[in-house]
Every structure is written in structure tokens, then in C-alpha cells.
Amino acid sequence: MRRIVLYFSSDCPDCPPVKEALTRSGIPFAAEDITSGMAPLKRFLKYRDTRPEFDAVKAAGSVGIPCLVVDGGEKIYFGLPDDLDELR
């Protein structure tokens, strides 16, 4: 089974629809609120600060959430993929 982590912020209006879609689709995922403490923020920044997928996000001055990290970084999505079956 794939391991999916959703990095989100409770203050971000784009995040709840992603959580709801994953739940409705029955796709298991772990949720990490990056604003809930230093540990979740550091786990997110490990990806944001080192992965090229974030270059355009950072250049635009955005944070990069909601962010789905699949299998420890095998694949990274900003929001939902067009086909949710990619997450199964």
C-alpha cells in the first residue's frame, strides 16, 4: 500500500477540499498540519527546501500547500492529481 502524507495548514482555504476528496475516495492518508508545531513544519520543509518540484512554488512566493507526498517523495502533488487512481 502506498504511503500518502497530506501537508496542509488549518488556515489555508485550499486544503479542506483536498482532505475531503481523499476521504470520500477512500484513499488512506496521514495529515500533517504544518502550523501545528515545529515537528510537522520541519518534515514539510525537508521536501520544500530540497525538491525541485517546489522551485516554481517558491519563485511565485507561495508556500506549496496543500501538498501530497507519496511514498516518501517518490511523487509530489500540489493539490489533487487529475486522476485520483494515481494515489491508489
For 67-88, the DSSP string reads: EEEEGGGTEEEES--SSGGGG-
> What pLDDT is attached to residue 6?
98
For residue 11, CA distances in Å to 20, 49, 77 come to 16, 21, 19
- Compute the C-alpha angle 8/48/27, nearest 5°: 40
Catalogue all structural domains in the chain, each as residue range(s) with its CATH number: 4-87 (3.40.30.10)
Rounded to whole angstroms, how far apart are CA atoms 61 and 16?
A: 21
Taking only Cα atoms into account, the Rg of the chain, rounded to an integer number of angstroms, comes to 12
What are the pLDDT digits (tens) for 4-44?
Answer: 999 999 999 999 999 999 999 999 999 999 999 999 999 99
> What pLDDT is attached to residue 40?
98
pTM over 0.85: yes
